[in-house]
Chain A
Amino acid sequence: MRLKAAQWSAHLRGTLARAYGLFADDPLLTQEAEDALLAAARQQGYAQRERLNGGSAAPWERMKDERDAGSLFAERRVLLLRLDSPKPPREGTAALDYWLASPPEDAILVISGARPDANTQKSAWFKALESKGHTLILYAPEGKDWPRWVEARLAQAGLRADAEAVQVLSSLSEGNLLACSQSIARLQQLAGNGQVDAAAVRAVLADSSQFSIYDLADAALRGEPRHALRVLDRLRQGDGEPTLCLWALHRDCRLLLQLQDPQIQAGSLFSKARIFPPRQDWLRNAARRLSTAGLLTALRDCAAIDARIKGQDPTPVWPALADLVLRIAGPGPSGHNKAH
């Protein structure tokens, strides 16, 4: 059975199942779910825990051995297995089938890993795990949920933060849950009286926000030049690939030009390009906001940037990417000359 994040703590107060699958893209989320599960298990008498990864034998082999080993002293234990890839190998699914067919009475199996995609969720092993045990898929808070999450974490840590402090903390650690929770732990140590304000947060924190190329394209589409430039800056400092940034921005330029063409149906364009609701609106708004001539210039910029990336033109790439981002994000000319 699949559990929702909100049901998790209530579930842990009841009797535990024989097998669990914990999945999230952010390591902090799986870690915390696992910690809570282990704490509950200990209370119910499963004192021993064992990680199957990292031993000399393959984890799947060890899992089989554990299943076969009749426990001599009837010691109750928790077995933790971490999936390296979203698709376990064949011996893995075989071992899992073997386990789930008749799980031992005195063990709880906990499998954790990255969030499985739609196809994986349809696979036999995942369905078996879901029907014989429980699965929990956790999503990282995004957009408006993010400051709320930060606020909740601060409260949970016993800190009283004002609105500005929450805002600074959430913007400096956006998309990076682990960094955020570590910052809160640090603030907890430093703020003796439990009071936190924006200055305290700034004093403690470096900018540890993390963004993907999709955040860059989205911010530009939504017409948020400031935010888009910050995302680009973080990408540049991190491991952002100019080729991928260009790919994401170029794709949007194409889509916007296609949206502005009266002969193209927006609906079929979206379904063909696999664009889903929030992006659809952003694209529609941006297509209204930007002029066709401006977008054609942006397309030419794309070619120039590609030449820079491939070493044909020695001028630096990132400033040109920033120009392109601003071209998409910035307010277009007043809009009356949109028609071509």
Chain B
Amino acid sequence: MRVISAIPQAAEAWPPLAALLAGGLPQSMLCVGPWGSGVVELTDLFLDAMLCLAPRSDQTACGQCRSCILQRQGVHPDLLRLQAEEEGKLISIDQVRAAADFLSYTPQIAARRVLRVEPAEALAPAAANAFLKTLEEPPPRAHIVLLSAAPSRLLPTIRSRLQRLPMRLAGRAETQQWLREKGVPESAAARLARWAGDRPLWAWQAWQDGVLREREQWIPQLLALPHEGIGAALALAESWSKAATLPVLREIALSILEDLLRLRLGLVETLVNDDYITKLQSLAGSASPGALWSCEALWRKLPVTLKQNRNQLILLEDMIFAWYAIWAGRAEEHGRSA
């Protein structure tokens, strides 16, 4: 049974959702939040409550009625989970048509039929267009919930047909407290909360995977790179292409890049990697902002790029030299004026 306490921000985030459940529930809804923020889990609690036959006074699911039992066993006849058939593939138009068909029948047990789409950005363009009519005017007693980590990638026509649910994200202090309660040592909890304060579940997973150890190894490598020769950069690319887990490396690189941007704007308090502050400050001054942004864009696009089965060594070299270029331009200018 899903419990509300598994999500750190739930106590604060639930009341607005409960109000929706008590009063008029929208038919087409959008839930937005980064992966690992608890938004998916919160949405699932919300769906349980929508299907429950005898919700509790706080509008959460009772967990004992027939509907809740069926839901727990994953065989609820009034809930359809629409997702890509394979990891990394798109949701096809046929799947969307079948889902629209599902919604057109009257509910069997619960008070409503529910369609859950995750992630909404996996809808293929044709599938998204085929979905418009259903979203615009769902059949009576049918509700559609779309989950998205990147709503900007949805079609504007889809976005405009959805009501965005109030999804409160966890704050830094909340996440730190929650991690402490789960048994993470004080200093590590503080570090993780600084790093991913709005993504407590990601932080917890990262702690279990030993990501902080990798961080201590990789950040010095990244920060030393601008002062080293090209040979060292090439060697680093090679060792990373063999050993590093790229999504974690991406998180680390992005946090550093964003810190450099923060420092350039004078936002010292919100710095993520404040344990490397002196080094970061010395680098931020000589960084070229344009190159900083284009490097950030490369790292941000990495998950999409990786799906294309790219040559990892060539890819990492490209990223590392984009990193290199943040300071190379300045170094050249400096050399010329000297």
Contact = CB atoms under 8 A, between A and B. Distances in A.
Contact of A310 (B230, B309, B318): B309
A306 interface: yes
A263 B314 contact: no
Interface stretch (A70-78, A177-185, A296-304): A296-304
Contacts of B311: 246-247, 306
Given A307-B310, A312-B308, A263 B231 contact: yes
Contacts of B309: 310
A254 B321 contact: no
Given A307-B308, A311-B308, A300 B229 contact: no
A292 interface: yes
A340 B335 CA distance: 10
A300 B318 contact: yes
A94 interface: no
A157 to B, nearest CB: 47
Interface string A244-262: 0011001000100110111
Contact of B231 (A250, A264, A299, A303): A264
Interface in B272-307: 305
Nearest to A312: B308
A299 B318 contact: yes
B contacts with A: majority SS? helix
B315 A303 contact: yes
A148 to B, nearest CB: 40
A250 B241 CA distance: 15
A292 B234 CA distance: 13
B230 A340 contact: yes
Nearest to B229: A261
A272 to B, nearest CB: 11
Contacts of B232: 261, 263
B308 A296 contact: no
B310 A310 contact: yes
A261 B321 CA distance: 15
B174 interface: no
A263 B235 CA distance: 12
A contacts with B: majority SS? helix
A307 B314 CA distance: 10
B317 interface: yes
Interface in A264-311: 264, 292, 296, 299-300, 302-303, 306-307, 310-311
A263 B310 contact: no
Given A257-B231, A292-B230, A312 B305 contact: yes
Nearest to A254: B234
B229 A306 contact: no
Interface in A77-96: none
Contact of B308 (A300, A302, A310): A310
Interface string B199-235: 0000000000000000000000000000001111010
Contacts of B328: 340
B321 A300 contact: yes
Contacts of A262: 229
A302 B321 CA distance: 12
Contacts of A246: 311, 314
A303 B315 CA distance: 6
Contacts of A247: 311
Given A258-B234, A306-B310, A296 B321 contact: yes
A261 B231 contact: yes
B327 to A, nearest CB: 12
Nearest to A307: B310
Contacts of B310: 306-307, 310, 312
A134 B234 CA distance: 48
Interface string A311-340: 110000000000000000000000000001
Contacts of A254: 234, 317
A303 B308 contact: no
A246 B315 CA distance: 13
Contacts of B318: 299-300, 302-303
A306 B314 contact: yes
A242 to B, nearest CB: 12
Interface in B229-245: 229-232, 234
Contact of A250 (B305, B314, B321): B314
Contact of B315 (A261, A264, A306): A306
A23 B305 CA distance: 46
Nearest to B324: A296
A274 to B, nearest CB: 15
Contacts of A296: 230, 321
Interface of B: 229-232, 234, 305, 308-311, 314-315, 317-318, 321, 328
Interface of A: 246-247, 250, 254, 257-258, 260-264, 292, 296, 299-300, 302-303, 306-307, 310-312, 340
7 contacts: A254-B234, A258-B231, A263-B231, A296-B230, A306-B314, A310-B309, A312-B308
Given A303-B315, A310-B310, 17 more contacts: A246-B311, A254-B317, A258-B230, A260-B230, A263-B231, A264-B229, A292-B230, A299-B317, A299-B318, A302-B317, A303-B314, A303-B317, A307-B308, A310-B309, A311-B308, A340-B230, A340-B328
- Chain A to chain B: the 10 pairs with minimum beta-carbon distance, closest first: A261-B231, A303-B318, A264-B231, A310-B308, A261-B229, A258-B231, A306-B314, A306-B311, A263-B229, A257-B230
